[in-house]
Structure 1
Amino acid sequence: MSRQSESTVLFDALGPKGRRNSNIASIISAVVILGALAYAASVLASEGFFEASRWANPLDKLVVETTWIPSILATLRAFALGSILALILGVIFGFGRISRFRLTRWAAAGYVQFFRSLPLVLLIWISFTIDGHFGFTTDVLGWTNEARRLTFLVLGLGIYNGAVLAEILRAGVAALPPGQAMAGHAIGLSHGQVQRLVVLPQVLRNMLPAVLAQLVILLKDTSLGYVITYPELLHSAKIIGNDYGNSFLQALVIAALIYFVLAYVLSKLVVLAERRLRRKTAAPAKAVQQIETAVVAE
């Protein structure tokens, strides 16, 4: 089935009048957007935003080497550890939501509902403040200040996003046809084996776009490390802005562009992984062609 025929299944093709109205609406929208961008650019230009001198300091070689690059590495470190923790908690509590044991379901539901309802910045700040009051990580474990800040940022990211991923996983399992699990039970698999070998691989593949979207959100949420002075991108941009007062907005724009590049690369990597998974699980092209030929012949 071609892409054009697939699109017509979802909605009727536009007629001449509909296409004309759609083109007019597109032109008007483009004019409005370009006008807004032009106005914003003119305002920024009048304030000297585009002056080369204001960009020279944040992009100085020494600033890049001593501030931007370490902050990027710190952001990626928090993102990687937070993602691993969130995925582990998401799988554990996601399957806990669909467990056969009532207490397990209640405990998993309580975790998801409670932590998903809390603002992430509050979760990070409260846990960091409590530890600062009792001094567990510094006095007992002897951790450095940076390791302590990284720990509570990762815990906040993992716990909060783990609750969201658990709900995504539960929804994915609920959307899976029940015949898949029934077939696993029919060949003698236990409930745990069915969940692990039959349900989980299909759910992860189907839920990959939603998981990707949440991981991109997690990457951006690393900026909340700013409230506990973890040296991520936003915190570094503030330091550069304070050092060079006339380049504060430029430093924030540079940090925003770096976040955009990181999120874009992440999305491309996950899309590539999704394509590889679909290629491995897809039916052979020859078999698909034979099925389509048979359908057309009927």
Structure 2
Amino acid sequence: MTPSTALYDIPGPRTRRRHLLYGLGSTVLIVALLGWILHLLLESGQFTAAKWAPFAYQGIQELLLRGLGNTLKAFAYAAVLSLALGAVLATGRLSEHRIVRWTATVLVEFFRAMPVLVMIFFIFVALKVQPLPALVAGLTLYNGSVLAEVFRTGVGSVERGQREAAYSLGMRKTQVMTYVLVPQGVRAMLPTIISQLVVALKDTSLGYLITYEEFLHAGKLIASNLDYDLPFIPVVMVISPIYIGMCMLLSWFATWVAGRQRRNPKTEGVDIAAAESETRLPGGPPTAAQT
């Protein structure tokens, strides 16, 4: 009996046959559903040459590439600013000063509860901001407030003994946060962080509502063209895999980073040498905590 089977009974012949029947039945249902969808698409003429002809034109290809570039640009700005804002707000929520903690809490709860589309429209219409800054600002405020809670939860998930051990070495609060709590908390929350960045990537599609020429906006221009017989389904079938591929790429990057951290022994524990070098007084003997 291996460790992987120690907590459950190994299926017998009848159970394996039943599971095989379940698998075959599920496969048949999925294939039938896909066949029915394909039949509907063929019946409605979604695969006619007229609807797919636009993608062969260089101007349409350049329009899609320009929209994709604008989407990635908005996402890059929003991702960096959201991470920075999340770190600032999380630091405020973890502060020992009541005013700072309450202020950060109010900001986090307000922007997290506010629909991101409402914030984008408010910034674009009321404040008369250009489409790209309005989109980035709305995404930053929403995703930054969510990431603040993610960071705070990650820091709080670190065992209390690690914090106490760091203080026993004479480390200051900033050093404890920098060398002990934040690295371990971010490592634990990395999948959640990447998941929120995926949300930010998909929410860039809201830019078409404020006339920002992103990927979905480019697809909408093609799909609403009467000269190409309104190729809505072909546009969806072209754009959707690209969005899915970008999200999968982010997930793969998170898995790769997590794997490197597990293989790198330097990421485990506290960097005591670096901490002691900072707690040592300039030109003087070690502090009492180091002795």
1:282 deviation in Å?
7.3
One-letter identity of the residue aligned with 2:59:
L
User: What TM-score does the superposition give when structure 2 sets the normalisation length?
Assistant: 0.84
2:127 equivalent among 127, 131, 135: 131
Of 256, 262, 266, the match for 2:246: 262
Q: Quote the offset at 1:124 in angstroms.
A: 0.6
Distance 2:23 2:98 in 1: 53
Residue 278 (str. 1) matches residue 262 (str. 2)? yes
Partner of residue 291, structure 1: none
Conservation of the 8 A alpha-carbon contact between 2:155 and 2:186: no
Question: What's the CA shift string for 1:108-146, capped at 9, x where partnerless?
Answer: 2212211111111111111111122xxxx5xxxxxxxxx
- Note if contact 1:165-1:214 (Cα within 8 Å) is conserved in structure 2: yes
More helix by share: 1
Alignment-derived partner of residue 84 in structure 2: 88
2:20 to 19, 23, 38: 23
- In structure 1, the partner of 2:200 is 218
- The residue number in structure 2 matching 1:208 is 190
Q: 1:13: Cα distance to partner?
A: 4.2
Asked whether the 8 Å contact 2:82–2:147 carries over to 1, the reply is yes
Distance 1:19 1:101, change over 3 A: farther
Query: 1:14 & 1:50 partners in 2: Cα distance?
Result: 48
Residue identity in the other structure for 2:161: G
Q: Is the 8 A contact 2:261 2:267 kept in 1?
A: no
Alignment correspondent of 2:217:
235
Q: What secondary structure is seen at the aligned counterpart in 2 of 1:99?
A: coil
Q: Partners in 2 of 1:257 and 1:96 — Cα distance?
A: 39
- 1:292 aligned partner: none
Runs of 4+ with deviation above 6 angstroms: none
- Please state how far the C-alpha of 1:100 moved relative to its aligned partner: 1.5
Distance 2:140 2:5 in 1: 42
Matches of 1:102 and 1:230, distance apart in 2: 41
Does the 8 Å CA contact 1:93/1:163 hold for their aligned counterparts? yes
Q: Please, which moves more after superposition, 256-265 or 181-190?
A: 256-265
Select 1:32's aligned residue among 29, 33, 46. 29
How far 1:260 moved relative to its partner?
1.3
Q: How many residue pairs end up in the alignment?
A: 264
Gaps of 5+ in 1: 138-147, 285-298
Distance, in Å, in 1 between the alignment partners of 2:76 and 2:265 is 27
Tell me, in whole angstroms, the C-alpha distance in 2 between the residues paired with 1:107 and 1:43.
54
Give the structure 1 partner of residue 38 of structure 2.
41
**Is the counterpart of residue 54 in structure 1 residue 51 in structure 2?**
yes
Letter in 1 for 2:125: T
1:170 and 1:73 map into 2 onto residues whose CA distance is 33
Of residues 78-87 and 17-26 in structure 1, the stretch that sits farther from structure 2 once superposed is 17-26
- Relative to structure 2, which stretch is displaced further, 241-250 or 172-181? 241-250
- 1:30-84 residue CA offsets vs partner (Å, 9 max, x unmatched): 222221111111011101112233112134222102x011111100000000000
- Out of 95, 98, 106, the residue aligned to residue 99 of structure 1 is 95
Q: Is the 8 A contact 1:238 1:252 kept in 2?
A: no
Q: Does 1:164 align with 2:151?
A: no
Whole-angstrom distance in 1 between the partners of 2:162 and 2:46: 59
- The AA in structure 2 aligned to 1:41 is L
Instruction: Please state if 1:250 is matched with 2:247.
Output: no
- Equivalent-residue separation in structure 1 for 2:18 and 2:109 (angstroms): 45
- Inter-partner Cα distance in structure 1 for 2:243 and 2:202: 7
The 3 A distance-change label for structure 1 pair 88 and 43 is same
Cα distance in 1 for residues equivalent to 2:81 and 2:9: 46
CA shift in 2, pair 1:129/1:34, >3 Å: same
Amino acid at match of 2:49: A
Match of 1:190 among 155, 159, 172: 172
- 8 Å CA contact 2:116–2:139 kept in 1: the answer is yes
Is 2:50–2:229's contact at 8 Å kept on the other side of the alignment?
no
Q: Which amino acid aligns with 1:225?
A: G
Does structure 1 conserve the Cα–Cα contact (< 8 Å) formed by 2:120 and 2:135? yes
Contact 1:234 1:252 in 2 (8 A): no
Task: Report the counterpart of residue 290 of structure 1 in structure 2.
Answer: none
When residues 102 and 93 of structure 1 are mapped into structure 2, their CA distance, relative to the original with a 3 A threshold, is same
Aligned equivalents of 2:196 and 2:256: distance in 1? Answer: 17
